[in-house]
Amino acid sequence: MHMSDGIVNAPTSLLFAGIAIVGLGFAALKARTELTERAAPMAGLVAAFIFAVQMINFPILPGVSGHLLGGTLAAILVGPYVGVLCVAIVLVVQALLFADGGLTALGTNITNMALIGVAVGYTAARLLLPIVRRLPVVAFVAALLGTVCASAGFIVEYAIGGASGSTLGEVTWYILGTHALIGIGEGIITAITVGAVAKARPDLVYLLRAEQVDSARSRTAFFAAFGVATLLCAGLLSYFASSQPDGLDATTQRGCTVSEVNGAEQLNGECIAQNAQDHHLAQSPLADYTIDGDNRFTGLAGVLGVLAAFVALATLVAGIRTRTPRP
């Protein structure tokens, strides 16, 4: 779901950059009510965890993969407004440090994954929980819906100002189909993660709003375990990620064949992806989740990304809480 520069035109990118800025500003204002003493450190860990798990692409079809978007997971654990900030921070870190997702496309990516994904996922979870009463089931369904609706955001953006290469109908059916399958994987990951947190510390699950008060020691132990799991995902499991294009890339490459020329991929035929522009930071040391282009150090790059996401979100949270009036 990380759109490259050039997939939609400049006016469309500018429009959704404005929508993203307004949405993030509103989320930052409302996040003050969600950032309790317990939620603040949890928010940093959730952002770091989303970054780590997004590195682990899983196959969904021959030649197509998917990865976690994380909007529903974040919203259930730390609240919808903080959840928006978590996903947005991850996208900013990925774009600026890892050349993943275009710079001019950052507004569209934030709109799709942070704003739409969180809003739909959290709304679905809130509506389903009183009916279903089983949090993992609720998390699965909400994450599936959030993923499909996030992908629908791309359809709207492509309809407004998409590059040539495919008809709107072709884009619509393929991206919704692939992201319905990705949504199943997203739902499983979200259900397992939310279920594990709820079992260990239900008071740290925003959607449950449990009133239980546990000792600071047990909370620290939980945070430590969550952190270790996050580092293992980024530093170890990332080596097992599928190398196939994700649902969005597969959609934009339809109509083209991919060949390798002088070590670089070349698209032959006619497809949307031929309009994609090279990332402005493609030569950065951590580009493509490597260290200076050496993919043997993907795990180290992932760990650095986890730390960057955690520090960025923690810094943002500290600023928001500092400006929050004391009762």
What are the pLDDT digits (tens) for 145-187?
999 999 999 999 999 999 988 899 999 999 999 999 999 999 9
β-pair partners for 54: none
The number of residues in the chain equals: 327
Q: Give the three-class secondary structure for 256.
A: strand
- Distance (Å) of CA 26 to CA 21, 105, 117, 194: 9, 20, 16, 26
pTM of the model: 0.94
Model pLDDT, residue 151: 97
Angle (CA) 49 127 82, round 5°: 35
Percent of the chain scoring above 70 in pLDDT: 95
- Which residue in the block uniquely carries the two structure tokens 């993943």? 100
Picking from 150, 168, 171, the residue whose alpha carbon sits closest to that of residue 159 is 168
Model pLDDT, residue 222: 92
pLDDT tens, residue by residue, 68-125: 999 999 999 999 999 999 999 999 999 999 999 999 999 999 999 999 999 999 999 9
pLDDT band at 324 (very low <50, low <70, confident <90, very high): low
Contact between residue 7 and residue 279 where contact means Cβ atoms under 8 Å apart: no
Side chain identity at residue 44, one-letter code? G
Check whether 327 has a pLDDT greater than 50: no
Picking from 182, 158, 147, the residue whose alpha carbon sits closest to that of residue 3 is 158
* Rounded Cα gap, residues 214 and 33, in angstroms: 21
pLDDT tens, residue by residue, 50-65: 999 999 999 999 999 9
Could you tell me the domains of the chain? 10-322 (1.10.1760.20)
